[in-house]
Amino acid sequence: MPSEPTIIRTPTEMRAHGHALRAAGKRIGFVPTMGALHAGHLSLIDYVRQECDVVVASIFVNPLQFDRAEDLDTYPRTFEADRALCAQRGTDVIFCPTAPAMYPEGYCTKVSVSGMSGLLCGKVRTGHFDGVTTVVLKLFNAVLPHVAAFGEKDYQQLTLIKRMALDLGLDVAVVGRPTVREADGLAMSSRNVHLSPEERQRALALWRGLQKARTLADAGQTEARVLIDAARQEIEAINPTRLEYIEIVDSTNLESLERLDRPARMAMAVWLGSTRLIDNAPLN
């Protein structure tokens, strides 16, 4: 039987626990989440379990990163199921603070990674990435991890957090791990529960578009416009509610590319009904 994780609910208590672990020579691995855990989150827990002595997962639905109130209100909250999954995977600590504990009365500070925050999703999700980098820094300050793992499905988020850690000289290794997909290719996401069965099938066009572009790139096509058009055809064939963007960007700084002359990533955001889906893949 797996042991139950220790539940910690305040940043002060979490920081004291982190200091004690470090003083005992323990290596702390951290997986930040907003709950509604799926196999993608569990793969991150498995990774830090192998790399570290102690595994901490946070479950905190961060209000600062939601640009739409209805998205915050409807975000799935499944703490008991999440706690059970964490226990099964050998998680030692679940850090689950409240919003007032993280943002006490009078709170007015944000962390912003300029430039990259306004690209891709940042063009339409005003303030979203400031909310992400702010909460991640606060979580790092509470957990005191040596290693923090993030999924590549949220590639822009991963890139911004790596930049923040580098720029601020944080004592944590930020590690990106491959996107975990369903058997048919759909990227796992907590928001997939909002898809109707018909929307769920149509959502496979995102993966088909990425695969089509990768096949062309592997065959030697280097023109970004051609690759984007190929992916766009797959997406438009399902009549999405909205095709927000398809772009090919530099893998390091997220700047838009016209040619594949360096490590690149294709990224996209598509609306099906009221659900916004994102996906990405490397183009080598």
Q: What is the 3-state secondary structure (H, E, C) of 158-185?
A: HHHHHHHHHHCCCCCEEEEECCCECCCC
pLDDT at 70: 85
Helix (H) / strand (E) containing 23: helix 11-23
* Edge-to-edge strand list for the sheet holding 54-59: 6-8, 93-95, 54-59, 28-33, 147-151, 173-177
Domain boundaries of the chain, sorted by first residue: 6-177, 190-283
Q: For residue 250, count other CB atoms closer than 10 A to its CB.
A: 15
CATH number corresponding to 190-283: 3.30.1300.10
The string of pLDDT tens digits covering residues 219-256 is 999 999 999 999 999 999 999 999 999 999 999 999 99
Binding residues for (R)-pantoate: 65, 157
Looking at the predicted structure, is the pLDDT value of residue 1 above 80?
no
pLDDT at 229: 98
The 3-state secondary structure of 30-72 reads: EEEECCCCCHHHHHHHHHHHHHCCEEEEEECCCHHHCCCHHHH
Percent of residues, the chain, with pLDDT higher than 70:
99
CA 90 remoteness from chain centre:
21
Looking at the predicted structure, is the pLDDT value of residue 265 above 90?
yes
Contact 162/174 with Cβ under 8 angstroms? yes
The string of pLDDT tens digits covering residues 121-173 is 999 999 999 999 999 999 999 999 999 999 999 999 999 999 999 999 999 99
Active site residue 41: yes
Catalytic site residue from 17, 19, 41, 128: 41
Residue 14 structure tokens: 């979490």
CATH superfamily entry for domain 6-177: HUPs (3.40.50.620)
Categorize the per-residue pLDDT at 89 as very low, low, confident or very high, splitting at 50, 70 and 90: very high
Instruction: Tell me the average pLDDT of the chain.
Output: 97
pTM above 0.85, yes or no: yes
Contact 188/38 with Cβ under 8 angstroms? yes
Binding residues for beta-alanine: 65
- Identify the CA nearest to 35 among candidates 12, 55, 63, 61: 61
- Identify the CA nearest to 58 among candidates 20, 85, 30, 37: 30
3-state DSSP call for residue 272? strand
User: What's the CA gap between 4 and 1, in Å, rounded?
Assistant: 9
User: What's the CA gap between 277 and 146, in Å, rounded?
Assistant: 31
Categorize the per-residue pLDDT at 68 as very low, low, confident or very high, splitting at 50, 70 and 90: confident
